[in-house]
Amino acid sequence: MWDWLTSSTNSTKMAGQSAAAKLSFKILGWCMIVFGGLCGVLALIFTVVKNPRTAFKKTPRDVPPKCLQDSSLGSHEYVRANGIKFHYVCAGDKSKPLMLFLHGFPEFWFSWRYQMNEFSKDFRVVAIDMRGYGETERPPNKLDYTFSKLKQDIVELVPALGYSKCTLVSHDWGGVVAWRVLSRYPELIERFIVMNCPHPKVYAMKLAKDWKQLFMSWYIFMFQIPKLPELIISMNDFETMKGMFINGTKNPDNFPPEVLKAYLYTFAQPGALTAAINYYRCMFKTEKSKATDTTPPPKKIEVPCLVIWGDDDTALSHDMADMHEAVVANLTVKHIPNCSHWVQQDAPETVNQYMSEFLADSIASR
């Protein structure tokens, strides 16, 4: 189960660990799943006891809210890549370079609304619904959401959109996928921007020094359990999801009722939550590398990288942002104090400023 982590730790204290040590990690992993499951069950019981009459009621959500139809954000289009149909929203001149946005969990293309408006004058901005999210097709099987498939989605999307490379902007789970694309296919990426998502090796380095991060991400292990996470998140008319954005942000004015309606509408659709959570359920799946992936990635990433970090992230320790010098040669790090995990929506002006500064020389050189 822990192969995804131990395979990323060649430069850490975990390198060359014995079979006994690896077994210990596997046991720890199963213990964390049990712990996460117990936390989930307790949350479920608490919700039922607190709201016995409404715990399992849901508001019908058949019509998308008006903000999702806002033409000023861009046009809605579709493209096929890696065997499925992707939905995306785009704006800007097609002759401009591509800026591709990859969202996190539980989000969709709409989380990039502030950045799309800002950068459509200099780029062809494209915000996709990732595999299984929003209006993108939802493959039915859990194993349709492995790292290799998610990575290949992006590798094929860039040429499917008519480009040979892009400026890749990512957050959270979008960053998890984006780091892997960058490591294996750097020729696809001109500039790389990632928000509140560490490189896999950085995450492993953090765990080697401080296992507190493991417990900060307890929900990952709870998500391994079938059906329970979907039930918890959707109970009491998606109270948990509402709390993620209302209580989990430092700037709740950026999450008004209409925006919350957009998120609830999106994840209330059949199969939406399961598809999104399947990303987590496939995290520990070990896959044989394809022939195209047999070449080891470079020791350090050469593509210019900007790491933006909302320092009040409750799931990811902010000191990981500064640890990327171990894996990135051309690195810029920007911290945003008093900012949550939902950084591009919580502090959009600051995020846009840091992105603009990072991209200024490449824009000026055209």
C-alpha–C-alpha distance, residues 107 and 333, integer Å: 24
User: Is the whole-model pTM more than 0.85?
Assistant: yes
Task: Name the catalytic one among 129, 144, 172, 313.
Answer: 172
**In terms of C-beta distances under 8 Å and separation of at least 24 residues, what long-range contacts does 181-185 make, across chains too?**
181/151, 181/154, 181/155, 182/301, 182/303, 182/305, 183/297, 183/298, 183/301, 184/151, 184/293, 184/297, 185/155
Looking at the structure of the chain, the number of domains it has is 1
Mean pLDDT of the chain: 90
Per-residue pLDDT, 211? 83
Q: Is the pLDDT of residue 181 over 90?
A: yes
Task: Name the catalytic one among 280, 313, 324, 346.
Answer: 280
Closest CA to 241 of 220, 266, 217, 222: 266
287 versus 337: the higher-pLDDT residue is 337
**pLDDT classification of 156: cutoffs 50, 70, 90:** very high
Closest CA to 98 of 160, 14, 38: 160
Task: Name the catalytic one among 87, 144, 341, 354.
Answer: 341
**pLDDT classification of 209: cutoffs 50, 70, 90:** confident
Of 52-56, 121-125, 259-263, which gets the smallest average pLDDT? 52-56
Residue range of the domain that includes 288: 3-364
As a whole number, mean pLDDT of residues 69-89 equals: 96
Task: State whether residue 361 is helix, strand or coil.
Answer: helix
Q: 238-297, pLDDT tens digit by residue?
A: 999 999 998 888 888 889 999 999 999 999 999 999 999 999 999 987 665 554 555 566
| Domain containing residue 225: CATH number | 3.40.50.1820
44 versus 176: the higher-pLDDT residue is 176
As a whole number, mean pLDDT of residues 16-28 equals: 65
**pLDDT classification of 301: cutoffs 50, 70, 90:** very high
223: its two tokens: 């998500």
**pLDDT classification of 197: cutoffs 50, 70, 90:** very high
Active-site annotation holds for 172: yes
As a whole number, mean pLDDT of residues 211-239 equals: 91
DSSP 51: -
**pLDDT classification of 84: cutoffs 50, 70, 90:** very high
C-alpha–C-alpha distance, residues 211 and 310, integer Å: 21
Would you say 248 and 314 are in contact if contact means Cβ atoms under 8 Å apart?
yes
Per-residue pLDDT, 157? 98
SS (H, E, C) 193-259: EEECCCCHHHHHHHHHHCCHHHHHCHHHHHCCCCCHHHHHHHHHHHHHHHHHHHCCCCCHHHCCHHH
Per-residue pLDDT, 11? 42
**pLDDT classification of 178: cutoffs 50, 70, 90:** very high
Per-residue pLDDT, 10? 46
Per-residue pLDDT, 290? 53
